[in-house]
């Protein structure tokens, strides 16, 4: 998961509580469209799509057998990316 660094509280307990709220996915919108997130997160998402195409949403890949196809959940201040295990090391490096 990547997130807007200004969104969560800075203390550990506050962060963990905030994180718990984020992964409830209760923001009342679809979670496959980057138009609802911050400009920086949207930019990150669009960069990631070049190497890790989306499984769902407006940017979905037609090649569902591609091991790089990734399930993204886009929130207002977070993006959760579920990569295939075979992609874990490369995906981590690409994320940063």
CA angle 86, 87, 91 (to 5 degrees): 160
DSSP secondary structure letters along 32-50:
S-GGGS-HHHHHHHHHHHT
Residue 25 within a domain: no
- In a domain, residue 86? The reply is yes
pLDDT tens digit sequence for 14-55: 999 999 999 999 999 999 989 999 999 999 999 999 999 999
Domain membership flag for residue 82: yes
Q: How many structural domains are present in the chain? A: 1
Q: Identify the domain containing residue 71 by its residue range.
A: 2-20+30-95
Q: What is the mean pLDDT of residues 73-84?
A: 96
Q: What pTM did the predictor assign?
A: 0.91
Torsion of the alpha carbons at 14, 15, 21 and 23, rounded to the nearest 10: -160
């Amino acid at each position: 998961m990547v997130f807007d660094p200004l969104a969560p509280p800075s203390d550990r307990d506050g962060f963990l509580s905030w994180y718990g709220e984020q992964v409830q996915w209760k923001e009342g919108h679809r979670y496959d469209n980057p138009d609802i997130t911050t400009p920086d997160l949207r930019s990150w998402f669009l960069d990631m799509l070049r190497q890790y195409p989306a499984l769902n949403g407006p940017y979905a890949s037609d090649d569902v057998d591609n091991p790089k196809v990734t399930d993204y959940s886009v929130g207002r201040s977070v993006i959760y990316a579920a990569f295939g295990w075979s992609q874990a090391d490369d995906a981590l490096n690409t994320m940063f």
